[in-house]
Amino acid sequence: MNLSRFALISVLSSGIAALAACSSTSGPELRASKPVIHVSSARPASDISNCLQRMIPSAQTRLDQGTTELLVGSNAWLVTLTPSAYGSIVKVQQSSSDDGGVPEPELRFDIARCTT
């Protein structure tokens, strides 16, 4: 009886862990992708974030251990703003699934405009 209870608890625990991983805001697949854009800017992360939110009103913002993350589209783009000694480091990662949201050329233009 104890063995079957242990098996049931193990199955439930792994199911809950899988659901928690799927429900993260930016998803592990998106975080693991190679950056499409990786630049440094003299502007503070807060200025860049505010600018990008004006340019892309649908962007969702969250703070994570000193960095600012903007999720653009439906998990299509993750923009990470990390403060540095000279301003900010901007890293943009793309999901393998295209949601038809913000196209890459438009996002590149917005990043360029907000980081200079």
Q: What's the CATH code of the domain at 72?
A: 3.30.310.80
Residue 9: per-residue pLDDT: 47
State the pTM of this model.
0.72
Residue 32: per-residue pLDDT: 59
- Answer whether residue 87 is part of any domain: yes
Residue 101: per-residue pLDDT: 76
- Total number of domains in the chain: 1
13 pLDDT band, cuts 50/70/90, is: very low
Q: What is the pLDDT of residues 35-80, one digit of tens each?
A: 889 999 999 999 999 999 999 998 999 998 889 999 988 778 999 9
- Answer whether residue 65 is part of any domain: yes
- Answer whether residue 3 is part of any domain: no
Alpha-carbon gap, residue 88 to 93, rounded angstroms: 16
In 23-116, where does DSSP find H-type helix?
28-32, 45-55, 104-115
Long-range own/partner contacts, residues 93-99 (CB < 8 A, 24 or more apart): 93/30, 93/31, 93/33, 93/34, 93/35, 93/36, 94/30, 94/33, 94/36, 95/27, 95/29, 95/30, 95/33, 96/29, 96/33, 99/73, 99/74, 99/75
